[in-house]
Structure 1
Protein backbone atom coordinates (compact mmCIF):
# COMPACT_ATOMS: atom_id res chain seq x y z
CA UNK A 1 0.00 0.00 0.00
CA UNK A 2 2.81 2.40 0.89
CA UNK A 3 4.44 1.67 -2.44
CA UNK A 4 1.57 3.36 -4.30
CA UNK A 5 1.77 6.55 -2.25
CA UNK A 6 4.46 8.23 -4.44
CA UNK A 7 2.43 7.47 -7.59
CA UNK A 8 -0.74 8.87 -6.02
CA UNK A 9 1.03 12.04 -4.88
CA UNK A 10 2.68 12.53 -8.28
CA UNK A 11 -0.65 12.14 -10.11
CA UNK A 12 -2.32 14.50 -7.63
CA UNK A 13 0.43 17.05 -8.26
CA UNK A 14 -0.24 16.94 -12.02
CA UNK A 15 -3.99 17.28 -11.44
CA UNK A 16 -3.36 20.21 -9.09
CA UNK A 17 -1.18 22.16 -11.54
CA UNK A 18 -3.53 21.47 -14.45
CA UNK A 19 -6.76 22.17 -12.55
CA UNK A 20 -5.61 25.39 -10.88
CA UNK A 21 -5.10 26.98 -14.29
CA UNK A 22 -8.56 25.90 -15.40
CA UNK A 23 -10.09 27.16 -12.14
CA UNK A 24 -8.46 30.54 -12.63
CA UNK A 25 -10.07 30.88 -16.08
CA UNK A 26 -13.47 29.45 -15.29
CA UNK A 27 -14.08 30.38 -11.67
CA UNK A 28 -12.51 33.82 -11.70
CA UNK A 29 -13.01 35.04 -15.27
CA UNK A 30 -15.99 32.88 -16.26
CA UNK A 31 -14.06 31.69 -19.32
CA UNK A 32 -14.55 27.97 -19.92
CA UNK A 33 -11.28 27.41 -21.75
CA UNK A 34 -11.60 24.14 -23.69
CA UNK A 35 -8.16 24.78 -25.19
CA UNK A 36 -6.52 24.23 -21.79
CA UNK A 37 -5.88 20.53 -22.44
CA UNK A 38 -4.28 21.30 -25.79
CA UNK A 39 -2.01 23.88 -24.14
CA UNK A 40 -1.01 21.21 -21.61
CA UNK A 41 -0.06 18.82 -24.44
CA UNK A 42 1.64 21.63 -26.38
CA UNK A 43 4.15 22.04 -23.56
CA UNK A 44 5.21 18.41 -23.91
CA UNK A 45 5.48 18.23 -27.69
CA UNK A 46 7.15 21.64 -28.02
CA UNK A 47 9.67 20.61 -25.36
CA UNK A 48 10.27 17.42 -27.33
CA UNK A 49 10.92 19.39 -30.52
CA UNK A 50 13.18 21.82 -28.66
CA UNK A 51 15.33 18.94 -27.37
CA UNK A 52 15.82 17.87 -30.97
CA UNK A 53 16.85 21.34 -32.08
CA UNK A 54 19.04 21.93 -28.99
CA UNK A 55 20.35 18.48 -27.96
CA UNK A 56 21.23 18.14 -24.30
CA UNK A 57 19.08 21.04 -23.06
CA UNK A 58 18.40 20.33 -19.34
CA UNK A 59 15.15 20.49 -17.40
CA UNK A 60 16.13 23.65 -15.54
CA UNK A 61 16.21 25.43 -18.93
CA UNK A 62 13.19 23.64 -20.45
CA UNK A 63 10.91 24.42 -17.52
CA UNK A 64 10.96 28.25 -17.66
CA UNK A 65 10.89 28.19 -21.46
CA UNK A 66 7.73 26.06 -21.50
CA UNK A 67 6.09 28.02 -18.67
CA UNK A 68 6.71 31.36 -20.39
CA UNK A 69 6.02 30.04 -23.90
CA UNK A 70 2.70 28.35 -23.08
CA UNK A 71 1.76 31.30 -20.87
CA UNK A 72 2.28 33.66 -23.81
CA UNK A 73 0.34 31.33 -26.12
CA UNK A 74 -2.57 31.27 -23.67
CA UNK A 75 -2.48 35.08 -23.37
CA UNK A 76 -2.49 35.29 -27.18
CA UNK A 77 -5.64 33.15 -27.29
CA UNK A 78 -7.27 35.57 -24.87
CA UNK A 79 -6.27 38.65 -26.88
CA UNK A 80 -7.07 37.29 -30.34
CA UNK A 81 -10.03 35.00 -29.61
CA UNK A 82 -11.78 35.25 -26.25
CA UNK A 83 -11.61 39.03 -25.77
CA UNK A 84 -13.10 39.89 -29.22
CA UNK A 85 -15.87 37.34 -28.62
CA UNK A 86 -16.76 38.96 -25.30
CA UNK A 87 -16.65 42.45 -26.84
CA UNK A 88 -19.02 41.49 -29.66
CA UNK A 89 -21.30 39.10 -27.79
CA UNK A 90 -25.02 39.83 -27.65
CA UNK A 91 -25.30 38.64 -24.05
CA UNK A 92 -23.69 36.44 -21.40
CA UNK A 93 -25.21 33.25 -22.78
CA UNK A 94 -24.11 34.14 -26.31
CA UNK A 95 -20.58 34.87 -25.09
CA UNK A 96 -20.39 31.54 -23.25
CA UNK A 97 -21.49 29.53 -26.28
CA UNK A 98 -19.14 31.35 -28.65
CA UNK A 99 -16.26 30.92 -26.18
CA UNK A 100 -16.92 27.18 -25.96
CA UNK A 101 -16.89 26.81 -29.74
CA UNK A 102 -13.77 28.98 -30.04
CA UNK A 103 -12.00 26.92 -27.37
CA UNK A 104 -12.74 23.69 -29.22
CA UNK A 105 -11.45 25.24 -32.46
CA UNK A 106 -8.24 26.52 -30.87
CA UNK A 107 -7.69 23.13 -29.19
CA UNK A 108 -8.13 21.33 -32.52
CA UNK A 109 -5.65 23.66 -34.21
CA UNK A 110 -3.00 23.20 -31.49
CA UNK A 111 -3.50 19.43 -31.43
CA UNK A 112 -3.19 19.22 -35.21
CA UNK A 113 0.07 21.17 -35.14
CA UNK A 114 1.32 18.87 -32.38
CA UNK A 115 0.41 15.76 -34.34
CA UNK A 116 2.31 17.11 -37.36
CA UNK A 117 5.37 18.05 -35.29
CA UNK A 118 5.45 14.58 -33.71
CA UNK A 119 4.55 12.80 -36.98
CA UNK A 120 1.37 11.41 -35.37
CA UNK A 121 3.48 9.18 -33.11
CA UNK A 122 4.05 9.01 -29.35
CA UNK A 123 7.24 10.73 -28.27
CA UNK A 124 9.59 10.65 -25.31
CA UNK A 125 11.78 13.40 -23.93
CA UNK A 126 15.47 12.41 -24.07
CA UNK A 127 17.15 11.22 -20.89
CA UNK A 128 19.56 14.14 -21.14
CA UNK A 129 16.73 16.49 -20.11
CA UNK A 130 16.50 14.80 -16.71
CA UNK A 131 18.22 11.63 -15.63
CA UNK A 132 15.55 9.70 -13.73
CA UNK A 133 16.86 8.25 -10.49
CA UNK A 134 15.06 6.12 -7.92
CA UNK A 135 15.67 6.01 -4.18
CA UNK A 136 14.00 4.34 -1.23
CA UNK A 137 11.80 6.21 1.25
CA UNK A 138 10.37 4.06 4.09
CA UNK A 139 10.36 1.05 1.80
CA UNK A 140 8.63 2.83 -1.12
CA UNK A 141 10.48 3.54 -4.37
CA UNK A 142 10.46 7.27 -5.15
CA UNK A 143 11.85 8.95 -8.27
CA UNK A 144 13.33 12.40 -8.53
CA UNK A 145 10.56 13.26 -11.06
CA UNK A 146 7.90 12.53 -8.43
CA UNK A 147 9.70 14.70 -5.89
CA UNK A 148 10.06 17.57 -8.36
CA UNK A 149 6.38 17.26 -9.29
CA UNK A 150 5.30 17.56 -5.67
CA UNK A 151 7.62 20.51 -5.02
CA UNK A 152 6.37 22.31 -8.14
CA UNK A 153 2.73 21.68 -7.21
CA UNK A 154 3.18 22.93 -3.62
CA UNK A 155 5.20 26.01 -4.57
CA UNK A 156 2.99 27.07 -7.49
CA UNK A 157 -0.29 26.34 -5.69
CA UNK A 158 0.79 28.37 -2.67
CA UNK A 159 2.06 31.12 -4.94
CA UNK A 160 -1.22 31.30 -6.87
CA UNK A 161 -3.33 31.25 -3.69
CA UNK A 162 -1.17 34.01 -2.24
CA UNK A 163 -1.42 36.03 -5.45
CA UNK A 164 -5.23 35.83 -5.58
CA UNK A 165 -5.78 36.53 -1.88
CA UNK A 166 -3.12 39.04 -0.92
CA UNK A 167 -1.90 41.00 -3.95
CA UNK A 168 -3.55 44.06 -5.42
CA UNK A 169 -4.09 42.39 -8.80
CA UNK A 170 -5.41 39.26 -7.11
CA UNK A 171 -8.01 41.21 -5.16
CA UNK A 172 -8.93 43.02 -8.37
CA UNK A 173 -9.42 39.67 -10.11
CA UNK A 174 -11.79 38.60 -7.37
CA UNK A 175 -13.74 41.81 -7.88
CA UNK A 176 -13.95 41.05 -11.61
CA UNK A 177 -15.28 37.60 -10.75
CA UNK A 178 -18.11 39.11 -8.71
CA UNK A 179 -19.13 41.87 -11.14
CA UNK A 180 -17.12 42.65 -14.25
CA UNK A 181 -19.05 45.83 -15.11
CA UNK A 182 -18.81 47.27 -11.61
CA UNK A 183 -15.08 46.47 -11.52
CA UNK A 184 -14.58 48.36 -14.78
CA UNK A 185 -16.53 51.36 -13.45
CA UNK A 186 -14.28 51.40 -10.38
CA UNK A 187 -11.23 51.80 -12.60
CA UNK A 188 -9.98 48.21 -12.45
CA UNK A 189 -8.05 47.33 -15.65
CA UNK A 190 -10.23 44.35 -16.53
CA UNK A 191 -8.68 43.59 -19.92
CA UNK A 192 -5.12 43.58 -18.56
CA UNK A 193 -6.13 41.33 -15.69
CA UNK A 194 -7.88 38.91 -18.04
CA UNK A 195 -4.74 38.59 -20.17
CA UNK A 196 -2.64 38.21 -17.03
CA UNK A 197 -4.93 35.48 -15.67
CA UNK A 198 -4.88 33.53 -18.95
CA UNK A 199 -1.08 33.82 -19.05
CA UNK A 200 -0.82 32.41 -15.52
CA UNK A 201 -3.25 29.64 -16.44
CA UNK A 202 -1.17 28.73 -19.49
CA UNK A 203 2.06 28.79 -17.49
CA UNK A 204 0.61 26.28 -15.02
CA UNK A 205 -0.49 24.06 -17.92
CA UNK A 206 3.00 24.36 -19.39
CA UNK A 207 4.69 23.20 -16.19
CA UNK A 208 2.17 20.37 -15.73
CA UNK A 209 2.49 19.13 -19.31
CA UNK A 210 6.28 18.99 -19.23
CA UNK A 211 6.39 17.18 -15.89
CA UNK A 212 3.64 14.75 -16.92
CA UNK A 213 5.59 13.74 -20.03
CA UNK A 214 8.68 13.18 -17.89
CA UNK A 215 6.66 11.25 -15.30
CA UNK A 216 5.01 8.93 -17.85
CA UNK A 217 8.15 8.63 -19.92
CA UNK A 218 6.16 9.37 -23.09
CA UNK A 219 3.44 11.61 -24.47
CA UNK A 220 1.39 12.42 -27.55
CA UNK A 221 -0.49 15.34 -29.04
CA UNK A 222 -3.78 14.20 -27.44
CA UNK A 223 -2.45 13.65 -23.91
CA UNK A 224 -4.50 16.52 -22.47
CA UNK A 225 -7.93 15.30 -23.63
CA UNK A 226 -8.78 12.89 -20.80
CA UNK A 227 -7.14 15.13 -18.25
CA UNK A 228 -9.35 18.04 -19.32
CA UNK A 229 -12.52 16.04 -18.56
CA UNK A 230 -11.26 15.11 -15.10
CA UNK A 231 -10.16 18.67 -14.43
CA UNK A 232 -13.66 19.95 -15.23
CA UNK A 233 -15.05 17.44 -12.74
CA UNK A 234 -12.54 18.54 -10.09
CA UNK A 235 -13.45 22.21 -10.57
CA UNK A 236 -17.18 21.50 -10.31
CA UNK A 237 -16.90 19.19 -7.32
CA UNK A 238 -14.52 21.49 -5.49
CA UNK A 239 -16.82 24.46 -6.11
CA UNK A 240 -16.32 26.67 -9.16
CA UNK A 241 -13.82 29.39 -8.27
CA UNK A 242 -12.40 27.61 -5.20
CA UNK A 243 -8.65 27.27 -5.70
CA UNK A 244 -8.13 25.54 -2.35
CA UNK A 245 -11.03 23.17 -3.02
CA UNK A 246 -9.54 22.27 -6.40
CA UNK A 247 -6.29 21.22 -4.70
CA UNK A 248 -8.17 19.08 -2.16
CA UNK A 249 -10.29 17.26 -4.70
CA UNK A 250 -7.34 16.82 -7.10
CA UNK A 251 -5.63 14.81 -4.37
CA UNK A 252 -8.81 12.86 -3.54
CA UNK A 253 -9.36 11.86 -7.17
CA UNK A 254 -5.70 10.97 -7.75
CA UNK A 255 -5.55 8.75 -4.66
CA UNK A 256 -8.73 6.92 -5.69
CA UNK A 257 -7.31 6.30 -9.16
CA UNK A 258 -3.90 5.17 -7.92
CA UNK A 259 -5.16 2.68 -5.34
CA UNK A 260 -8.07 1.32 -7.37
CA UNK A 261 -5.69 0.84 -10.29
CA UNK A 262 -3.28 -1.03 -8.04
CA UNK A 263 -5.77 -3.31 -6.28
CA UNK A 264 -8.48 -3.75 -8.93
CA UNK A 265 -6.56 -3.25 -12.16
CA UNK A 266 -5.96 -0.38 -14.54
CA UNK A 267 -9.20 -1.07 -16.43
CA UNK A 268 -11.27 -0.09 -13.38
CA UNK A 269 -9.23 2.97 -12.47
CA UNK A 270 -11.17 5.46 -14.60
CA UNK A 271 -14.45 3.69 -13.77
CA UNK A 272 -13.84 4.29 -10.06
CA UNK A 273 -12.82 7.90 -10.65
CA UNK A 274 -15.94 8.76 -12.62
CA UNK A 275 -18.14 6.80 -10.20
CA UNK A 276 -16.78 8.99 -7.40
CA UNK A 277 -17.55 12.07 -9.48
CA UNK A 278 -21.16 10.95 -10.03
CA UNK A 279 -21.66 10.17 -6.34
CA UNK A 280 -20.27 13.56 -5.35
CA UNK A 281 -22.55 15.33 -7.85
CA UNK A 282 -25.54 13.58 -6.30
CA UNK A 283 -24.50 14.16 -2.69
CA UNK A 284 -22.89 17.61 -2.99
CA UNK A 285 -23.96 19.21 -6.31
CA UNK A 286 -22.64 22.65 -5.30
CA UNK A 287 -19.17 21.26 -4.61
CA UNK A 288 -17.12 20.77 -1.48
CA UNK A 289 -16.39 24.48 -1.13
CA UNK A 290 -19.17 26.36 -2.93
CA UNK A 291 -18.69 30.06 -3.55
CA UNK A 292 -21.44 32.28 -2.26
CA UNK A 293 -23.24 34.14 -5.05
CA UNK A 294 -25.11 37.32 -4.36
CA UNK A 295 -28.11 38.55 -6.27
CA UNK A 296 -28.18 42.17 -7.40
CA UNK A 297 -31.50 43.98 -7.41
Structure 2
Protein backbone atom coordinates (compact mmCIF):
# COMPACT_ATOMS: atom_id res chain seq x y z
CA UNK A 1 0.00 0.00 0.00
CA UNK A 2 1.45 3.35 -1.09
CA UNK A 3 -0.14 6.77 -0.76
CA UNK A 4 0.64 9.21 -3.56
CA UNK A 5 -2.02 11.84 -2.92
CA UNK A 6 -5.29 12.06 -4.82
CA UNK A 7 -6.87 14.25 -7.46
CA UNK A 8 -8.79 16.09 -4.72
CA UNK A 9 -6.05 16.31 -2.08
CA UNK A 10 -2.71 18.02 -2.67
CA UNK A 11 -0.10 16.21 -0.55
CA UNK A 12 3.48 17.42 -0.29
CA UNK A 13 6.35 14.96 -0.77
CA UNK A 14 7.11 15.11 2.97
CA UNK A 15 3.52 14.23 3.84
CA UNK A 16 3.40 11.33 1.39
CA UNK A 17 6.67 10.05 2.82
CA UNK A 18 5.29 10.25 6.37
CA UNK A 19 2.09 8.39 5.48
CA UNK A 20 3.94 5.59 3.73
CA UNK A 21 6.51 5.34 6.53
CA UNK A 22 3.76 4.92 9.12
CA UNK A 23 2.11 2.22 6.99
CA UNK A 24 5.41 0.38 6.59
CA UNK A 25 6.27 0.59 10.30
CA UNK A 26 2.67 -0.29 11.26
CA UNK A 27 2.63 2.60 13.71
CA UNK A 28 -0.04 5.25 14.24
CA UNK A 29 0.57 8.39 12.18
CA UNK A 30 0.34 11.43 14.45
CA UNK A 31 -0.47 14.54 12.42
CA UNK A 32 -0.18 18.05 13.82
CA UNK A 33 -0.61 21.41 12.14
CA UNK A 34 -2.67 24.58 12.15
CA UNK A 35 -6.46 24.07 12.11
CA UNK A 36 -7.69 23.99 8.53
CA UNK A 37 -4.56 22.48 6.97
CA UNK A 38 -6.25 19.22 5.98
CA UNK A 39 -5.35 16.86 8.84
CA UNK A 40 -8.75 15.20 9.07
CA UNK A 41 -9.20 15.26 5.31
CA UNK A 42 -5.94 13.33 4.96
CA UNK A 43 -7.48 10.25 6.59
CA UNK A 44 -10.54 10.48 4.34
CA UNK A 45 -8.42 10.77 1.21
CA UNK A 46 -6.08 8.00 2.37
CA UNK A 47 -8.99 5.61 2.78
CA UNK A 48 -10.31 6.58 -0.65
CA UNK A 49 -6.91 6.17 -2.29
CA UNK A 50 -6.43 2.71 -0.77
CA UNK A 51 -10.01 1.69 -1.54
CA UNK A 52 -10.79 0.81 2.05
CA UNK A 53 -13.27 1.79 4.77
CA UNK A 54 -12.75 4.84 6.99
CA UNK A 55 -13.76 4.51 10.65
CA UNK A 56 -13.77 7.86 12.46
CA UNK A 57 -13.60 8.44 16.20
CA UNK A 58 -14.20 12.12 16.95
CA UNK A 59 -12.68 12.90 20.34
CA UNK A 60 -14.32 15.43 22.67
CA UNK A 61 -13.31 16.87 26.03
CA UNK A 62 -15.54 14.30 27.78
CA UNK A 63 -14.38 11.29 25.73
CA UNK A 64 -12.83 8.40 27.67
CA UNK A 65 -10.49 5.82 26.18
CA UNK A 66 -12.72 2.86 27.07
CA UNK A 67 -15.46 4.29 24.84
CA UNK A 68 -13.28 3.47 21.85
CA UNK A 69 -13.23 -0.15 22.95
CA UNK A 70 -16.76 -0.79 24.21
CA UNK A 71 -19.36 0.34 26.72
CA UNK A 72 -21.48 -1.86 28.98
CA UNK A 73 -25.03 -0.57 29.42
CA UNK A 74 -25.83 -1.81 32.92
CA UNK A 75 -28.81 0.55 33.28
CA UNK A 76 -30.63 -0.94 30.28
CA UNK A 77 -29.95 -4.45 31.53
CA UNK A 78 -31.37 -3.62 34.95
CA UNK A 79 -34.46 -2.10 33.36
CA UNK A 80 -34.99 -5.13 31.12
CA UNK A 81 -34.60 -7.49 34.07
CA UNK A 82 -37.34 -5.59 35.92
CA UNK A 83 -39.57 -5.91 32.84
CA UNK A 84 -38.86 -9.63 32.45
CA UNK A 85 -37.12 -9.25 29.08
CA UNK A 86 -35.33 -12.45 27.99
CA UNK A 87 -32.48 -10.36 26.55
CA UNK A 88 -30.99 -10.02 30.05
CA UNK A 89 -29.72 -13.61 29.91
CA UNK A 90 -27.10 -12.66 27.30
CA UNK A 91 -24.85 -9.86 28.49
CA UNK A 92 -23.66 -9.28 24.94
CA UNK A 93 -26.97 -7.57 24.23
CA UNK A 94 -25.82 -4.71 26.46
CA UNK A 95 -22.33 -4.19 25.12
CA UNK A 96 -21.93 -1.39 22.59
CA UNK A 97 -18.90 -1.71 20.36
CA UNK A 98 -16.54 1.24 20.08
CA UNK A 99 -14.61 2.46 17.07
CA UNK A 100 -11.49 0.42 17.87
CA UNK A 101 -13.62 -2.72 18.15
CA UNK A 102 -15.15 -1.94 14.75
CA UNK A 103 -11.70 -1.48 13.23
CA UNK A 104 -10.32 -4.64 14.86
CA UNK A 105 -13.12 -6.91 13.63
CA UNK A 106 -13.21 -5.53 10.07
CA UNK A 107 -12.59 -8.23 7.49
CA UNK A 108 -10.27 -5.98 5.51
CA UNK A 109 -7.63 -3.49 6.52
CA UNK A 110 -9.32 -0.17 7.33
CA UNK A 111 -8.20 3.38 8.09
CA UNK A 112 -9.00 4.39 11.67
CA UNK A 113 -9.06 8.14 12.33
CA UNK A 114 -8.74 9.29 15.95
CA UNK A 115 -9.59 12.94 15.42
CA UNK A 116 -8.34 15.76 17.70
CA UNK A 117 -6.90 13.54 20.42
CA UNK A 118 -5.63 16.58 22.31
CA UNK A 119 -9.19 17.59 23.23
CA UNK A 120 -9.48 14.74 25.71
CA UNK A 121 -8.05 14.38 29.20
CA UNK A 122 -4.25 14.10 29.44
CA UNK A 123 -4.57 10.44 30.46
CA UNK A 124 -6.57 9.54 27.36
CA UNK A 125 -3.55 8.71 25.11
CA UNK A 126 -1.86 6.65 27.86
CA UNK A 127 -5.03 4.63 28.36
CA UNK A 128 -4.81 3.45 24.74
CA UNK A 129 -1.12 2.45 24.75
CA UNK A 130 -1.59 -1.28 25.23
CA UNK A 131 -4.48 -1.55 22.76
CA UNK A 132 -2.61 0.32 20.02
CA UNK A 133 0.55 -1.67 20.69
CA UNK A 134 -0.86 -5.19 20.91
CA UNK A 135 -3.90 -4.63 18.68
CA UNK A 136 -6.12 -6.41 21.20
CA UNK A 137 -8.15 -5.74 24.33
CA UNK A 138 -10.05 -7.76 26.95
CA UNK A 139 -13.82 -7.56 27.49
CA UNK A 140 -14.31 -8.20 31.21
CA UNK A 141 -18.06 -8.70 31.04
CA UNK A 142 -17.84 -11.59 28.56
CA UNK A 143 -14.33 -12.82 29.29
CA UNK A 144 -13.25 -12.63 25.65
CA UNK A 145 -10.23 -11.03 24.00
CA UNK A 146 -10.83 -8.99 20.86
CA UNK A 147 -7.88 -9.14 18.48
CA UNK A 148 -7.47 -7.22 15.23
CA UNK A 149 -8.16 -9.38 12.19
CA UNK A 150 -6.08 -6.91 10.18
CA UNK A 151 -3.96 -4.18 11.74
CA UNK A 152 -5.73 -0.91 10.87
CA UNK A 153 -3.90 2.09 9.44
CA UNK A 154 -4.28 4.59 12.27
CA UNK A 155 -4.24 8.36 11.71
CA UNK A 156 -4.30 10.55 14.83
CA UNK A 157 -4.76 14.30 14.57
CA UNK A 158 -3.89 16.99 17.10
CA UNK A 159 -4.26 20.76 17.15
CA UNK A 160 -1.60 21.09 19.87
CA UNK A 161 -4.11 22.23 22.49
CA UNK A 162 -2.16 20.22 25.06
CA UNK A 163 1.05 18.20 25.15
CA UNK A 164 0.81 14.46 24.55
CA UNK A 165 2.63 12.00 26.86
CA UNK A 166 6.12 10.87 25.85
CA UNK A 167 5.17 7.20 26.12
CA UNK A 168 2.42 7.78 23.56
CA UNK A 169 4.65 9.82 21.24
CA UNK A 170 7.26 7.05 21.17
CA UNK A 171 4.71 4.72 19.62
CA UNK A 172 3.76 7.08 16.78
CA UNK A 173 5.29 8.27 13.54
CA UNK A 174 5.04 12.05 13.70
CA UNK A 175 4.50 14.60 10.95
CA UNK A 176 3.78 18.31 11.20
CA UNK A 177 1.85 19.76 8.25
CA UNK A 178 3.59 23.06 7.67
CA UNK A 179 1.48 25.89 6.34
CA UNK A 180 1.48 25.66 2.52
CA UNK A 181 3.59 28.01 0.45
CA UNK A 182 2.05 30.06 -2.36
CA UNK A 183 2.58 27.45 -5.07
CA UNK A 184 1.01 24.70 -2.98
CA UNK A 185 -1.93 26.97 -2.16
CA UNK A 186 -2.40 27.66 -5.87
CA UNK A 187 -2.57 23.91 -6.52
CA UNK A 188 -5.06 23.45 -3.67
CA UNK A 189 -7.26 26.24 -5.02
CA UNK A 190 -7.11 24.74 -8.52
CA UNK A 191 -8.29 21.39 -7.13
CA UNK A 192 -11.33 23.06 -5.55
CA UNK A 193 -12.07 25.50 -8.38
CA UNK A 194 -10.74 24.24 -11.71
CA UNK A 195 -10.31 27.05 -14.21
CA UNK A 196 -10.45 29.85 -11.64
CA UNK A 197 -8.99 33.13 -12.90
CA UNK A 198 -5.26 33.37 -12.28
CA UNK A 199 -5.52 37.08 -11.58
CA UNK A 200 -8.10 36.52 -8.84
CA UNK A 201 -6.01 33.81 -7.18
CA UNK A 202 -2.84 35.92 -7.36
CA UNK A 203 -4.45 38.99 -5.78
CA UNK A 204 -6.38 36.93 -3.24
CA UNK A 205 -3.17 35.28 -2.10
CA UNK A 206 -1.54 38.69 -1.69
CA UNK A 207 -4.36 39.84 0.60
CA UNK A 208 -4.49 36.46 2.37
CA UNK A 209 -0.79 36.45 3.25
CA UNK A 210 -0.93 40.13 4.23
CA UNK A 211 -3.65 39.30 6.77
CA UNK A 212 -1.67 36.31 8.08
CA UNK A 213 1.40 38.54 8.59
CA UNK A 214 -0.45 41.05 10.81
CA UNK A 215 1.34 41.08 14.20
CA UNK A 216 -0.83 40.09 17.14
CA UNK A 217 -3.49 38.30 15.12
CA UNK A 218 -5.25 35.86 17.46
CA UNK A 219 -6.27 33.41 14.74
CA UNK A 220 -4.54 33.43 11.39
CA UNK A 221 -6.74 32.46 8.43
CA UNK A 222 -6.19 28.88 7.29
CA UNK A 223 -6.20 27.04 3.99
CA UNK A 224 -9.84 26.04 4.31
CA UNK A 225 -10.78 29.66 5.01
CA UNK A 226 -8.93 30.81 1.90
CA UNK A 227 -10.95 28.31 -0.14
CA UNK A 228 -14.22 29.57 1.41
CA UNK A 229 -13.22 33.20 0.81
CA UNK A 230 -12.48 32.57 -2.86
CA UNK A 231 -15.86 30.90 -3.26
CA UNK A 232 -17.54 34.04 -1.91
CA UNK A 233 -15.44 36.32 -4.13
CA UNK A 234 -16.44 34.32 -7.21
CA UNK A 235 -20.09 34.24 -6.18
CA UNK A 236 -20.11 38.03 -5.76
CA UNK A 237 -18.13 38.48 -9.00
CA UNK A 238 -15.22 40.18 -7.24
CA UNK A 239 -12.32 40.08 -9.69
CA UNK A 240 -8.59 40.32 -9.15
CA UNK A 241 -8.62 43.97 -10.21
CA UNK A 242 -10.97 44.85 -7.33
CA UNK A 243 -8.58 43.33 -4.82
CA UNK A 244 -5.56 44.91 -6.50
CA UNK A 245 -7.10 48.39 -6.48
CA UNK A 246 -8.55 48.03 -2.98
CA UNK A 247 -8.13 51.14 -0.86
CA UNK A 248 -5.37 50.31 1.67
CA UNK A 249 -7.07 52.52 4.25
CA UNK A 250 -10.15 50.32 4.33
CA UNK A 251 -10.53 48.30 7.51
CA UNK A 252 -10.66 44.76 6.22
CA UNK A 253 -10.84 42.95 2.86
CA UNK A 254 -14.20 42.27 1.18
CA UNK A 255 -16.04 39.21 2.53
CA UNK A 256 -13.51 39.15 5.36
CA UNK A 257 -15.87 37.20 7.60
CA UNK A 258 -14.56 34.11 5.85
CA UNK A 259 -10.99 34.98 6.92
CA UNK A 260 -11.26 36.77 10.27
CA UNK A 261 -13.19 34.83 12.88
CA UNK A 262 -13.22 36.88 16.10
CA UNK A 263 -13.88 40.44 17.15
CA UNK A 264 -10.37 41.01 18.54
CA UNK A 265 -8.83 40.42 15.12
CA UNK A 266 -11.43 42.60 13.41
CA UNK A 267 -10.64 45.43 15.84
CA UNK A 268 -6.92 44.91 15.27
CA UNK A 269 -7.32 45.26 11.50
CA UNK A 270 -9.50 48.33 11.97
CA UNK A 271 -6.83 49.96 14.18
CA UNK A 272 -4.19 49.24 11.56
CA UNK A 273 -6.42 50.79 8.89
CA UNK A 274 -6.92 53.86 11.08
CA UNK A 275 -3.15 54.26 11.44
CA UNK A 276 -2.76 53.83 7.67
CA UNK A 277 -5.33 56.58 7.03
CA UNK A 278 -3.41 58.93 9.33
CA UNK A 279 -0.14 58.34 7.47
CA UNK A 280 -1.88 59.02 4.14
CA UNK A 281 -3.09 62.46 5.20
Determine if the TM-score, normalized by the shorter chain, exceeds 0.5: no
Could you tell me the TM-score, scaled by structure 1's length?
0.27
Structure holding more helix per residue:
1
Rg larger in structure? 2
**1 or 2 for the larger relative contact order (CA 8 Å, sep ≥6)?**
1
Could you tell me the TM-score, scaled by structure 2's length?
0.28
